[in-house]
A and B are shown apart, each in its own frame.
Chain A
Amino acid sequence: MSDDAKSAILLDRRQLLLLGSAALASGALMPYAASAAEGTLVMTINPEPNAMVSAFNTASPVAVISGKMTEGLLHYDFDLKPQPALATSWEIAPDGLSMTFKLRDGVKWHDGKPFTSADVAYSIMEILKQHHPRGRGVFAKVTAVETPDPLTAIIKLGEPTPALLYALAGWESPMLPKHVYEGTDVLRNPANNAPIGTGPFKFVEWQRGSHIILEKNPDYWDKGKPLLDKLFVRIYPEPSARVAAFEAGELHLGGDGPIPLNEVKRFQDNPAFKVETRGTEMNNSLDVLETNLRNEYLAKPQVRKALMHAVNRDLMAKTVWYGLAEILTGPIPKTLPHFYSADVPAYPFDVAKAEALLDEAGYKKDAKGTRFKLRLIYPTVGDTYDRAGQFLRQQFRKVGVELELQSVDVPTFIRRVYGEYDFDLSMFPASVTADPSIGLQRFYQSGAIKQGTPFVNASGYKNPEMDALLLKAAVEPDAGKRAAMFKRFQQIAMEDLPILPLVRPIYVTVANAKAKNFVTGPEGVRSHYATLSLD
């Protein structure tokens, strides 16, 4: 072959390359549009759930996906009043020792079998009471579930458990089919990854790392619902990618703060989107500082009070949380109005007072202006805690307390704080849930000091009055008396300060403006979404 011929071939190759890229470009020039058909919606859950049923894992993403397929006995309205779900009516005996649920007639499992009281008894006694991380505590006092007929379930209690009534949503305490689980290794039952529930959506597929597809349950008991034919869940590990997907119109809905905090304002101002701040009133995740009372400085009440006075929490809410935070006055947020009390010791931002308290505790400033050093440990989840830690370090430095920031991953955090008590201050999301007996007793009661168990009393706090009060409140059937007890609880908690409450961060739900009914109650994105639509 002559050289000319060879270079001609080379040219041809080059032309081919050019042609190829031109073809690619022309293909790309057609605007991309996800072919979302009518009656479908794409939402995101972050991070990806690691199971489809929330009976064995209460991680928030699992609750969100499970809540579409599994149902509980009750729903809740914005006032946190129980509403019918699988139970149509319920009655609590005056002594608080039994709860009778009348079940909905004609409800079918996704596999066509009827839902009966036997399923309720099995779900509570064999699954939730045994394997549910929170349920083991919540259902601890349940001695039996009686089933006099297929549509009546009576929960028998050894002691009154008023908190139980607030833990019966489908995403928290799902009812599961006895015929699928009985006699199997329930933890490894295939239905945990492909649920058979009674909910408005049926499981179709889960491609890990990519997406989950749910479809309408045509036999759903609430006729005409759900409104969507298909619900797609797409996993976006990177928050910025979620922002782009929302803006490109590929993603319609995401809860639990799907976009970075600094983007929220822009989305709120953009008519193409809706941003909802409600819908987490049953979780009430608070950002708090737990003190390790084994530390010689933190053991002194004046030091803990001084630290509270040293933080300008108004400024903190604005700079760290971009204003998306409720500043806490105590351990119970305003989102639980029937328990909340403002009549507690307050700690306004006051540097002089903080300094005076620290002087009084006997810790004078040295030549460099430092009184003592503390370590602050927090889990690396997003970048909010990094910002919060830096803010706290600046604030504490002004009163002479040096803060060493220790940002670690979640398993390390749990091992260090709860396994080894190797911390001075720990910052973490403390979930109050819908009831302080479930969410807060574990942090403030000395019986909950259990080394090696995560998210319990790690401060080592022990106050006999507090202990007795919390134990009494947990079994008090009278709502009024119970509220009074929790008022006293808030006062002691803010006087003793084993935990310094910072804020309740507001986790927004972001939706395309065309989406409707994406937050209809306190269950927010965890709700069943039977009425969710995209017009």
Chain B
Amino acid sequence: MSAPRRNLPFRFIGKRILQAVLTILGIAIINFFLLQLAPGDAAEALAGEAGTADAGYLANLRREFGLDRPLWEQLATFLMRIATFNLGYSFRYGETISTLILSRLPATLLLMATSIVIALVIGILFGVTAARYFNRLPDRLISLVALLFYATPPFWIGLMMILVFSVWLGWAPTGGMRDITAPDGGIAGVFDIARHLALPALTQAFFYLAIYTRLVRAGMLEVLSLDYIRVARAKGISEQRVAYRHALRNAVLPLVTVVGTNIGGFLGGAVLTETVFSWPGIGRLMFDAMLQRDLNLLLSILVLSSVFVVIANLAVDLIYPVINPTVELR
């Protein structure tokens, strides 16, 4: 029994990778055709910004963007680029697409990782507390706060944070990722980034926090009424330990699923927060690429995003049996 079980994750992963490749290919092709539906092309977007252009200028632009090629050829070129990991050149930005993406990826990674960790820690704390004090004051307060965070757009929370903590109190900068007027790097540089990170990370965390709190609370309420918890309490184990050691483990599975989705969707998940805090992340790049009809760039980011979703899902599936050994991989 134990020997084949040990092999199982590898067979499972192999099967899932094959599925993943097909999924990503499908997403890429669907995205390609979906984006063709958007009226106007990259040449017209550029000409629109320039405020003027003649037919020859537009024709040159279309040739540079590869828009003068037949559609099937554009699709083939795009798929070829993905297959060879050579994403090509964004004529609009005058830069290779991989450079563009890589230069914006760390900012978004940092923001999302920090905010999800903050949201997880506070969300679990809140959720467990709310469940333990079900229908009493702490539960009511926490539920109210969670509902407020859930109902308030992150955009507005961000602006209010800037107003209070940057403009009135002067505790944090209004935006950006670092003080561009100071020299780069060193310990001071790390502190500088942390300082710039605080408000956007909190804003983004509040958004997740509301959902996490409610998920943990609901899961805990269900689990806390089960027999094994009653047994644990009968054994005289402290409430603290019962809650965090015995109940939480079983209550947390829905949370893992949602966090997995959030991590998978992190590329575009913070675009509002990035906008409000002038955070140089990839969400903005994706948004601008859409407005500019820079389809090569946009498709590359979308494919990358689908890769992350697939990886996150796989990770979640692998984590389930670790948290709860009764879950089996198939």
Residues of chain A touching chain B, judged by Cβ–Cβ distance below 8 Å, are: 3, 6-7, 10, 17, 24, 27-37, 40, 42, 47, 50-51, 57-60, 131, 133-134, 136-137, 187-188, 192-193, 207-211, 213, 230, 232, 234-238, 240-241, 244-245, 247-248, 250, 379, 408-416, 419, 429, 431, 442, 450, 452-455
Contacts and interface: CB of A to CB of B under 8 A. Distances in A.
A169 to B, nearest CB: 15
Contacts of A24: 198
A37 B180 CA distance: 11
A6 B241 contact: yes
Contacts of B181: 34-37, 40, 42, 230, 232
A133 B170 contact: no
A158 B8 CA distance: 80
Nearest to B285: A209
Contacts of A247: 167
Lowest 10 A-B CB distances belong to which pairs?
Answer: A411-B40, A209-B280, A210-B280, A415-B40, A59-B49, A410-B48, A411-B45, A414-B44, A412-B39, A31-B170
A453 B195 contact: no
A211 B103 CA distance: 13
Given A414-B47, A419-B44, A431-B51, 10 more contacts: A27-B191, A40-B181, A208-B285, A241-B162, A244-B174, A410-B48, A412-B40, A413-B40, A453-B54, A453-B58
Contacts of A31: 169-171
Interface stretch (B15-23, B87-95, B219-227, B258-266): B87-95
Interface of A is mostly: mixed
A259 to B, nearest CB: 13
Contact of A208 (B42, B103, B167, B180): B103
B83 to A, nearest CB: 24
B213 to A, nearest CB: 17
Given A244-B163, A455-B53, A409 B291 contact: yes
Contact of B198 (A28, A35, A37, A238): A28
B9 to A, nearest CB: 31
28 contacts: A3-B238, A32-B173, A35-B181, A37-B181, A40-B181, A58-B51, A133-B52, A134-B52, A137-B54, A208-B285, A211-B180, A213-B180, A235-B280, A236-B278, A241-B278, A244-B175, A248-B167, A250-B174, A409-B291, A410-B44, A410-B48, A410-B49, A411-B40, A411-B42, A411-B45, A411-B48, A412-B40, A419-B40
A210 B170 contact: no
B170 A32 contact: yes
A249 to B, nearest CB: 9
B317 interface: no
A411 B180 contact: no
Given A32-B170, A32-B171, A414-B44, A136 B100 contact: no
Interface of B: 38-42, 44-58, 60, 64, 89, 91-95, 100, 103-104, 107, 121, 159, 162-163, 165-167, 169-177, 179-182, 191, 195, 198, 237-238, 240-241, 244, 275-278, 280-281, 284-285, 288, 291-293
A508 B64 CA distance: 36
Contacts of A32: 166, 170-173, 195
Given A32-B195, A136-B54, A241-B277, A414 B238 contact: no
Contact of B171 (A28, A40, A131, A187): A28
A192 B90 CA distance: 14
B94 A192 contact: yes
A241 B48 contact: no
Given A193-B95, A210-B176, A453-B58, A35 B182 contact: yes
A395 to B, nearest CB: 27
Contacts of A408: 39
A210 B52 CA distance: 27
Contacts of B175: 236, 241, 244-245
A414 B40 contact: yes
Nearest to B294: A50
Nearest to B238: A3
A411 B39 contact: yes
B166 A10 contact: no
Contacts of B42: 411
A210 B106 CA distance: 13
Contacts of B100: 208
B280 A207 contact: yes
Nearest to B44: A414
A208 B174 contact: no
B159 A454 contact: no
Contacts of A3: 237-238, 241
A177 B303 CA distance: 40
A442 B54 CA distance: 10
Contacts of A34: 173, 179, 181-182
A57 B275 contact: no
Contact of B44 (A50, A131, A415, A431): A415
B202 to A, nearest CB: 11
Contact of A241 (B56, B91, B174): B174
Contacts of B39: 408, 411-412, 415-416
Contacts of A442: 52
Nearest to A430: B51
Given A207-B280, A209-B281, A133 B174 contact: no
B52 A235 contact: no
B180 A210 contact: yes
A57 B61 CA distance: 11
Given A134-B52, A415-B40, A455-B53, A248 B173 contact: yes
Contacts of B180: 42, 210-211, 213, 232, 234
A7 to B, nearest CB: 5
A131 B52 CA distance: 12
A50 B94 contact: yes
A29 B171 contact: yes
A413 B38 CA distance: 11
Given A133-B50, A136-B56, A235 B40 contact: no
Contacts of A7: 238, 240-241
Contacts of B91: 187
Nearest to A418: B44
Nearest to B163: A244
B175 to A, nearest CB: 5
Contacts of B93: 50, 208
A133 B57 contact: yes
B284 A237 contact: yes
A240 B166 CA distance: 13
A414 B292 CA distance: 12
Contacts of B293: 411
Contacts of A431: 51-52
A237 B291 CA distance: 14
A213 B181 CA distance: 9
A185 to B, nearest CB: 10
B57 A136 contact: yes
B94 A193 contact: yes
A248 B58 CA distance: 43
Contacts of A28: 165, 171-172, 195, 198
Contact of B103 (A207, A245, A452, A454): A207
A300 B221 CA distance: 72
Contacts of B51: 58-60, 133-134, 429, 431, 455
B278 to A, nearest CB: 5
A163 B78 CA distance: 44
A118 to B, nearest CB: 25
Contacts of B167: 244, 247-248
